[in-house]
Amino acid sequence: MRRCLTDQAAGVRSSRIDLAGAAIVRGRRARRRRQAFALASVIGATVLATGVVLQDWPGTGDGAGPAAGVIIEPVPTDPSLDQLDPPPRLAGRPGLPAELAVDLVGAGAAGGLVLAASDGRTLELGPVRDVISAHRVAGGWALVSGHPGTTRLWWVGQDDHRPVSLLAGMDSIVMERARVAWRRGAMLSTATLSGEGALQDRVDTTAPAGDGHPVGFAGPTVLLARVEPAGWDTWRPDRGGYTQAWTGRVLRVYGGAPDGAAAVGLVPPGAGADGPCLARLDPERRLAPTDRSCPPGGLSADGPAALSPHGRWLITTAAGAGGPVLVDVGDVRAGQPVPVIAVPELASLVGRPVWVDPEQALLPGPDRLVRVVPERLFAGDPAGVEVVPLPGGQALVVESL
């Protein structure tokens, strides 16, 4: 040390390494690093506490851009908020789907629409409103909602319960089992809905002029109807594009047997009849009527109606302001009156009847559902009709056949 001081005083530059100075410099550098790390830790803790996150803001297309601060909602600290929300419940009678062994769409106890399955699951439908029809399709549910021009097709899967919009802004959508047909503007389309919620085997064609739109199916045939001028038509997607051939000799088509060999509908009254007549229609010949039978009193050409899956029974309404009636369509024969019986316990239908199996149907009323078993009703058995009160309001029965 003495020699170093002597050399410095004499102005001599030492060739020896200054170990003490180097140690002091290293110490200062380490102290600055520790201070910087401590400051970064404080800033990071502040970011987590205040919910401020720095992220890249999208630029003009090259992926680069200035950094910006985004405020994130702070995490709640109230322990009670960590508990899961209670499962949604169907208003009025939560256990009704299990009692009836059907799925229902109705108002939830907490508001909004819910889908209540017969196995006890209840799913919130979130953005879905104004449901027209609901259908069970393999691994989930399909819902048709909205009004002409805003009609949507939704899919609700068994695993992911969030409703997904498959079609939106349609003029009309109709479903039967897994088949879907819709119109949007000048395009008429049909497809099959898979069990995973995908539209498959889609076929498109030019839509009919005017207000013609799909209203149902008869086997492989898509049924079309229009209001002005009134008429019915058919389209076979498996045979190519649609060609117009409207007929005014059919007033209504209820549907057909699954094989598509024949359909059932209403035709104008014959001689001596006091109302429209039931008729068998040939989809292969543009719904040409074959056998017909004119029930006394007549049947309504509009209003809710449903043909049973095998084409044996028809639930519709009597002509005028009549209530719902059950018709034995299997007895439609030329020149013979078809058997018709009024459905008791229900003054009017507020929606489409749904066949829960080939031999029984549920009819919706303003404050009730009415179960009808046709064989028993025609036999005069009191068990042929069962009233199910709906204290929570109307409920839509999910079609599963």
Share of the chain above pLDDT 90, in %: 57
Distance CA 218, CA 234 (A): 9
Q: What integer is the mean pLDDT of 112-124?
A: 94
Which are the contacts of 26, defined by CB distance < 8 A and separation ≥ 6? none
Q: What is the mean pLDDT of the chain?
A: 81
Would you say residue 8 has pLDDT above 70?
Answer: no
Return the HEC string of 327-345: EEHHHCCCCCCCCEEECCC
Residue 128, pLDDT score:
96
Q: Give residue-wise pLDDT tens across range 213-229.
A: 999 999 999 999 999 99
Q: What integer is the mean pLDDT of 227-235?
A: 95
Would you say residue 82 has pLDDT above 60?
Answer: no
Share of the chain above pLDDT 70, in %: 77
Count Cβ neighbours within 10 Å for each residue of 158-197 and write b for 16 or more, e otherwise: eeebebeebbeebbbbbbbbbbbbbbbeeebbbbebbeeb
Beta pairing class for 140-145 and 131-137: antiparallel
- pLDDT band at residue 35 using 50, 70 and 90 as cut-offs: low
Q: Which of 341, 348, 396, 399 is nearest to 373 (CA)?
A: 341
CA distances from 285 to 220, 249, 281, 386 (A): 14, 13, 8, 41
Count Cβ neighbours within 10 Å for each residue of 354-383 and write b for 16 or more, e otherwise: bbbeebbbbbbbeebbbbbbbeebeeeeee
Q: Give residue-wise pLDDT tens across range 108-117.
A: 988 899 999 9
Radius of gyration of the chain measured on its C-alpha atoms: 35
- pLDDT band at residue 32 using 50, 70 and 90 as cut-offs: low
Would you say residue 253 has pLDDT above 90?
Answer: yes
Distance CA 253, CA 17 (A): 106
Residue 330, pLDDT score:
83
Provide the 8-state DSSP code for 299: B
Give the chain's end-to-end CA distance (angstroms, integer): 103
Q: Given its phi and psi angles, is residue 262 left (phi above 0), alpha (psi -120 to 50 degrees) or beta?
A: beta
Q: What integer is the mean pLDDT of 328-355?
A: 87
Domain ranges of the chain: 2-78, 127-246, 252-392
Please give the full DSSP string across 277-292, using - where no structure is assigned: EEEEEEGGGTSEEEEE
Sign, CA torsion 108/112/118/119: negative
**Vertex 348 angle, CA 103 and 263, to 5°:** 70
Distance CA 94, CA 92 (A): 6
- pLDDT band at residue 294 using 50, 70 and 90 as cut-offs: confident
Would you say residue 381 has pLDDT above 50?
Answer: yes
Q: For the sheet containing 252-256, what is the strand order? A: 252-256, 263-267, 277-282, 288-293
- pLDDT band at residue 49 using 50, 70 and 90 as cut-offs: very low
Q: Which of 78-82, 290-294, 358-362 has the highest mean pLDDT?
A: 358-362
Residue 306, pLDDT score:
96
Q: The tokens of 188 are what?
A: 């008429």
Residue 53, pLDDT score:
34
Residue 346, pLDDT score:
92
- pLDDT band at residue 85 using 50, 70 and 90 as cut-offs: low
Which are the contacts of 338, defined by CB distance < 8 A and separation ≥ 6? 278, 293, 294, 295, 327, 328, 329, 331, 332
- How far, rounded to the nearest angstrom, does the alpha carbon of residue 336 sit from its chain's CA centroid? 42
> How many C-beta atoms lie closer than 10 Å to residue 80's C-beta?
6
Distance CA 375, CA 385 (A): 11
- pLDDT band at residue 339 using 50, 70 and 90 as cut-offs: confident
Q: What integer is the mean pLDDT of 26-45?
A: 48
Sign, CA torsion 16/20/23/28: negative
Residue 259, pLDDT score:
74
**Per CATH, the architecture of 252-392 is what?**
7 Propeller (2.130)
Q: What H or E segment, with its residue span, contains residue 46? A: helix 19-50
Distance CA 263, CA 277 (A): 14
Q: 398 near 134, Cβ under 8 Å?
A: yes
Q: Which of 322, 317, 323 is nearest to 303 (CA)?
A: 317
Residue 59, pLDDT score:
32
Distance CA 61, CA 74 (A): 31
